[in-house]
Amino acid sequence: MSPISDNLDTERRGVVFRLRQSDMLHSFLRSKIAMLSALITLAAIIGAAFAPWLAPHDPFDLASLSILDSQLPPVGMEGADPLYLLGTDDQGRDVFSGILYGARISLAVGFVSVLLAAVVGVLLGLVAGYVGGRTDAIIMRIAEVQLTFPAILIALLIDGVARAVFGNLDRERYAFWILVLSIALSFWVQFARTVRGSTLVERNKEYVQAARLIGIPPFLIMIRHVLPNVIGPVLVIATISLGLAIITEATLSFLGVGIPPTQPSLGTLVRIGNDFLFSGEWWIAMFPGFALAILVLAVNLLGDWLRDALNPKLR
Amino acid sequence: MLAFTIRRLLQAIGVMLVVALISFTLFRYVGDPVNQMVGLDTSLEQREALREQLGLNDPVLVQFARFVTRAAQLDFGTSYQFRQPVVDLIGRRLPATLELSLVSALLALLCGIPMGVYTGLNRDSLLSKLFLTISLIGISLPTFFIGILLIFLFSVTLQWLPSFGRGEVVDFGWWSTGLLTISGLKALILPAITLGLFQMTLIMRLVRSEMLEVIRTDYIKFARARGLSQRSIHFRHALKNTLVPVITITGLQLGSIIAFAIITETVFQWPGMGLLFLQSVQNVDIPVMAAYLMLIAFLFVVINLIVDLLYFVVDPRLRVERASH
């Protein structure tokens, strides 16, 4: 069989075959840590996505809450109710169900803000790297100034402005989007810088010159030809950013400027529980906190593995 | 070197002007300054008079110039929330934040560098793996949760250390220090660990990877061949050459320590600038927000400048290169 038809054959056999042949899958199956953290991340995503069906109680259904069930300790301690695996908070809400619903919001904020940051960052990075000149200089100057300010500070400032513009009530209604916007605004720089770097290398390669010669418009060259070749590192940054975004969201919610307590995220749950730490009800803050930590740890380990797997130099 | 310093100074002034513009926009256009200063029963004429008196009807450029001139004289107006000059409010809380930040940075350096050297030299020892695992957990745990864990362990369960406040402070003029009293020192321990842990893991990982690289170089092999002692090779020859990136990162991190102090100060109710800033965000106290932003930017710029100049002190090669140009 000639090499050309061999190539065609591989292509025809589709994605599954190519995945089975790839190094990525091989390295994934060999790394126990990667598999474990992927499992935890997947479990968290499923638990969060199907929270209304999986959670034993609905923490937002006020009718089902009873003050008699409030501040029950987790199973294994004296006075526990087996109905409430991880105990209940001051209003009788099940802590375990709260964590599932909380993870839903934490993950949603994380995913949407990273997606937004990635889209904006990749596009700006492509344009900066491909067009060059003054456009490049302006985009990168903005990125540099942005980089000097920590994400938390930018998010706090945006929140303060949002409070002044919307007023406190409306701010709670838009809290999710304000949060997504402020996190994305501080995370796009990382994407832009990386993509710009790889685009600078790609733009001088022959396939780009050929595409330019046959008159393909610059925008199409960027999206259809350059983008697929610079997307690898973007995946790594996205995974690492997801962990950071979840931490940032939790921190802002803990500080009381993120998701309001009517729809608590994991950070809001820790904030609520923090008030009961001194009266002995440690489980209200600790379990959501540990859930958050395990989730972020799993995502970070996954990011570490992805970085090593995509970088052949390290092998 | 002089030309380099001047160029960096000009850049620093440029950054400060941009930040001042953002602060000014916040101050002037987010919420009406006049509405915040007067009661509901103030008539329209009185409001207009106040507007004129504050110079809010002047051209924008004139207003911006006035804002910058006043900021340079540390006049940031009056807090909407406390009805006091912003500079007094911040000045009273500055020592608490600076003490906390510097102690945390020191802690991070004093623990992070030896741990990094150790893990770099003994790659496969059990202790190295333990350090690396701890550092991964340290990066994954959110700062506020580390603080809560420490409070739960040392304040609630063991009752060894206080969980909030600064303890007793001693006043030196406008500077109040908690470093000279027992209760002040005890109150500092938990917040400093909380704030410094992340930077410590960062410095440790950095020193480790630099050490791994340096130890392979020829001049270390040559030092071995000369029969120098291990200690001398590791600390006088290898460590010295890992310090340039460490200084950069530590310098840049010092800025984010001050920003991250917002979280630690909230967890421990530490009476610093971060707590003040958070309250000002929650109460839409724009003058305090604007002043805090300017102050943080100023600290960042100054730290960056010092870091750049420190390179010359640490790395003699730079001095030679600059001189020969």
Q: Above 80 in pLDDT, residue B125? A: yes
Are B57 and B98 in the same domain? no
- Who contacts A152 (Cβ-Cβ below 8 Å, separation ≥6)? A248, A251, A252, B259, B260, B262, B263
A300–B contact, CB cutoff 8 A: yes
Which of B15, B141, B289 is nearest residue A160 as measured by Cβ atoms?
B289
Phi first, then psi: give them for residue B78, nearest 5 degrees: -110, 135
Are B30 and B179 in the same domain? no
- Of B19, B139, B140, B190, which to mutate for an interface test with A (greatest number of A Cβ within 10 Å)? B140
Report if residue B214 sits inside a domain.
yes
User: What is the Cα–Cα distance from B312 to A258, expressed in whole angstroms?
Assistant: 43
- Who contacts B134 (Cβ-Cβ below 8 Å, separation ≥6)? B201
Are B252 and B141 in the same domain? yes
Are B124 and B32 in the same domain? no
Domain boundary among B25, B42, B72: B72
The tens-digit pLDDT sequence of chain A (315 residues) is 444 445 545 455 555 666 566 666 777 777 778 888 888 888 888 888 887 787 777 776 666 666 666 666 776 666 666 666 667 777 767 778 888 888 888 999 999 999 999 999 999 999 998 888 888 888 887 887 777 777 788 888 888 888 777 776 677 778 888 889 888 988 899 899 889 888 888 888 888 889 888 988 888 888 888 888 888 788 888 888 898 899 889 888 888 887 877 778 888 888 888 888 777 777 778 888 888 888 988 888 888 888 777 765 544
User: What's the domain range around B183?
Assistant: 90-282+302-318
Report if residue B174 sits inside a domain.
yes
Phi first, then psi: give them for residue B170, nearest 5 degrees: -110, 135
Instruction: State whether B286 and A150 contact (CB < 8 Å).
Output: no
Report if residue B254 sits inside a domain.
yes
Instruction: State whether A150 and B144 contact (CB < 8 Å).
Output: no
Domain boundary among B39, B72, B105: B72
B42–A contact, CB cutoff 8 A: no
Instruction: State whether B278 and A257 contact (CB < 8 Å).
Output: yes
Contacts of B163 in chain A (CB under 8 A): 278
Return the pLDDT at A3.
Answer: 47
Instruction: State whether B18 and A247 contact (CB < 8 Å).
Output: no
**Phi-psi sector, A133: left (phi>0), alpha (psi -120 to 50), beta:** left
DSSP characters over B153-203: IIIIIS--S-SSS--S-EEETTEEESTTSHHHHHHHHHHHHHHHHHHHHHH
Report if residue B39 sits inside a domain.
yes
Return the pLDDT at A68.
Answer: 62
Q: What is the ipTM of this complex?
A: 0.78
Check: CB of residue A117 under 8 Å from CB of residue A184.
yes
Per-residue pLDDT tens digits for B128-182: 888 888 887 777 788 888 888 888 888 887 888 887 777 777 777 777 777 777 7
How many other CB atoms sit within 10 Å of the CB of residue B9? 12
Query: Tell me, what CATH number does B264's domain have?
Result: 1.10.3720.10
Check: CB of residue A131 under 8 Å from CB of residue A218.
yes
- Of A149, A266, A283, A300, which to mutate for an interface test with B (greatest number of B Cβ within 10 Å)? A149
Report if residue B151 sits inside a domain.
yes
Contacts of B259 in chain A (CB under 8 A): 149-150, 152-153
Better-predicted residue by pLDDT, B15 or A170 = B15
Rounded to a whole number, what is the distance in Å from the CA of B229 to chain A's nearest CA? 32
User: What is the Cα–Cα distance from B71 to A87, expressed in whole angstroms?
Assistant: 52
Tell me how many domains chain B contains: 2
Report the greatest alpha carbon distance in chain A. 77
**Of the candidate ranges A5-9, B31-35, B105-109, the one whose mean pLDDT is the lowest:** A5-9
Report if residue B8 sits inside a domain.
no
Are B50 and B100 in the same domain? no
Please tell me the pTM assigned to this model: 0.81
Report if residue B265 sits inside a domain.
yes
Better-predicted residue by pLDDT, B288 or B45 = B288
- pLDDT-derived band at B238, boundaries 50, 70, 90: confident
**In 3-state terms, what secondary structure has residue B39?**
coil
Are B29 and B168 in the same domain? no
DSSP characters over B6-37: HHHHHHHHHHHHHHHHHHHHHHHHSS-HHHHH
A161–B contact, CB cutoff 8 A: yes
Return the pLDDT at A114.
Answer: 94
Are B58 and B27 in the same domain? yes
Report if residue B325 sits inside a domain.
no
Instruction: State whether B140 and A300 contact (CB < 8 Å).
Output: yes
Work out the average pLDDT over B41-45. Answer: 75
**Phi-psi sector, B269: left (phi>0), alpha (psi -120 to 50), beta:** left
Return the pLDDT at A314.
Answer: 46
Strand segments (E) across B61-168: none
- Of B13, B148, B163, B190, which to mutate for an interface test with A (greatest number of A Cβ within 10 Å)? B148
DSSP characters over chain A: --HHHHHHHHHHTHHHHHHHHSHHHHHHHH-HHHHHHHHHHHHHHHHHHTHHHH-SS-TT-GGG--GGGTTPPPBTBTT--TTSTT-B-TTS-BHHHHHHHHHHHHHHHHHHHHHHHHHHHHHHHHHHHHH-HHHHHHHHHHHHHHHHS-HHHHHHHHHHHHHHHH-HHHHHHHHHHHHHHHHHHHHHHHHHHHHHHHHHHHTTSHHHHHHHHTT--HHHIIIIIIHHHHHHHHHHHHHHHHHHHHHHHHHHHHHTSSS-TTS--HHHHHHHHHTTTTTT-THHHHHHHHHHHHHHHHHHHHHHHHHHHH-GGG-
Are B64 and B179 in the same domain? no
Check: CB of residue A107 under 8 Å from CB of residue A44.
yes
Are B161 and B192 in the same domain? yes
Instruction: State whether B281 and A157 contact (CB < 8 Å).
Output: yes
**Which residues are bridge partners to B176 per DSSP?**
B171
**What are A25's two structure tokens?**
């899958």
Return the pLDDT at A116.
Answer: 95
Residue type at position B92: R
Are B187 and B56 in the same domain? no
Are B244 and B271 in the same domain? yes
- Encode burial over B160-182: b for 16+ CB neighbours within 10 A, e otherwise: ebbbebbeebeeeeeebbbeeee
Are B164 and B312 in the same domain? yes
Domain boundary among B27, B42, B72: B72
Contacts of B297 in chain A (CB under 8 A): 148-149
Burial of A313: CB neighbours in 10 Å, binned 0-12, 13-18, 19+: exposed
